[in-house]
Amino acid sequence: MVRRPAADYDPPADPRVRVLMTVIARSCLVALLLAFQVGAASAETLMEAIDRVERETGGKVLSADTIRTRGSVVYRIKVLMPDGRVRIFQIPA
């Protein structure tokens, strides 16, 4: 297969192909934007995660950190449970 430089690229002459390519490109862009909006809407702040862990466990938060691993962000929350044990929760940001 011979590769031509980008400057030599000729768009398809058939208008149907151009319309189809435009529709596909716009659909991909819309899907990408929606994926980012869904991720942003479901993310909670560190303070919200701390409040949720305290409410659900009845324990006391000892420390909380934001950790980035493998391209994702996680809240690491260390909690003193009512029975005296210390547990660590990891909540996706």
For residue range 44-93, what is the model confidence (pLDDT) as tens digits? 789 999 999 999 999 999 999 999 888 888 999 999 999 999 999 998 88
Domain membership flag for residue 30: yes
Rounded Cα distance between 75 and 44, Å, is 10
CA contacts within 13 A on the Cβ side of 79: 23
Task: Identify the three-state secondary structure at position 6.
Answer: helix
Domain membership flag for residue 6: no
Domain membership flag for residue 20: yes
Q: 53 with 67, same domain? A: yes
Rounded Cα distance between 55 and 46, Å, is 14
Q: 48 with 21, same domain? A: no
Q: Say what the pTM is.
A: 0.54
Segment among 23-27, 35-39, 71-75 with least mean pLDDT: 35-39
Task: Identify the three-state secondary structure at position 58.
Answer: coil
The model's confidence at residue 7, banded by pLDDT at 50, 70 and 90, is low
Domain membership flag for residue 3: no
Of 62, 54, 47, the residue nearest 93 (C-alpha): 47
Give the per-residue pLDDT at 5.
Answer: 60
Domain membership flag for residue 31: yes
Q: 85 with 57, same domain? A: yes
Query: Residue 20's domain spans which residues?
Result: 13-41
